[in-house]
Amino acid sequence: MTDKQVDKIEAGIHTDFRNNMTYGDYLKLETLLSSQQRLSDHHDEMLFIVIHQVSELWMKLMLHEIRAAIISISNGELSPAFKMLARVSKIQSQIIHAWDVLSTLTPSEYLEFRDELGQSSGFQSYQYRMIEFALGYKTPHVLTIYEKDTELLNILQEAYAAPSLYDVAIRALAREGLHINEEILTRDVTNPYKSDDSVAKAWCAVYSNVEKYWDLYELAEKLIDIEDWLQQWRFRHMKTVERIIGHKVGTGGSSGVTYLKKVLDHRFFPELWDVRTTL
């Protein structure tokens, strides 16, 4: 194809944006791309900042989808929630792959700018905490990290007090006539969730009669996908940290790798894992 033929085909491309919104305007690229402010002169600090900012953007989208799924499930509309939760899993795969890029940072390179971080740490990511809250993992001590910002603390407290994705999934079991202990349905959702025999039996009934409970079965598998990917994210986080700083204390004061290994043992949806043994 000649240049003239190409020009003829693409004659409708807009080039005059003096009075119209551009791609960069729409995405606020000037603000977005000016937010990578290095505190050192080291080349690799840019990598460190970009990876964490990108991860925060993905987490923002995760929260957007999980919140919508919680509302949808609460309203008895499971089908729309499946699309949202499937999207969450795809987002999680992107965040996991981000660790592969960060792991190109060597210990020597990181030490060149680590002191510039002060006490700031990914441990303080409030969006990550909100994801944990939305999935049902709630520990009150983490809220103290955010007392510096009253407005942010209020947002976190609201998320902390809201029913989790698993809470509304359990209520969906009850709506379908499966027996759930009343104390589970009326429990204080700010307390950490503990396995319950009635919930375990309900999920077992779902997996034992897939045709009858197809929507609940699909919901269960979407939840398993999310927890599976989250644990893979946690594992890749732990191994990346170990690769870069070994077993040093984290910049935020945590035990670093030791802490990250410990959280790998936590389960968000315990009965959904146990049913695989009891079936």
Strands (E), 38-82: none
Would you say 38 is a known binding-site residue? no
Would you say 51 is a known binding-site residue? yes
Cβ(195)–Cβ(164) under 8 Å? Answer: no
Q: List for the chain the helix, strand, coil content (%; round to 5).
A: 65, 0, 35
Would you say 50 is a known binding-site residue? yes
Would you say 137 is a known binding-site residue? no
Would you say 71 is a known binding-site residue? no
Would you say 52 is a known binding-site residue? yes
Place of tokens 């945590």: 254
Cα→Cα distances 85→16, 46, 51, Å: 40, 32, 23
User: What does the alpha-carbon distance between residue 268 and residue 279 come to, in Å, rounded to a whole number?
Assistant: 20
Which one-letter DSSP state was computed for residue 250? P
Length of the chain: 279
Would you say 170 is a known binding-site residue? no
Would you say 237 is a known binding-site residue? yes
Cα→Cα distances 152→90, 105, 143, 156, Å: 28, 32, 10, 6
CB atoms within 10 A of CB 127: 15
Would you state the structure tokens that stand for residue 127, as one six-digit string? 């969006």
Binding region: 48-52, 110, 114, 237, 251
Binding region for heme: 237
Binding region for substrate: 48-52, 110, 114, 251
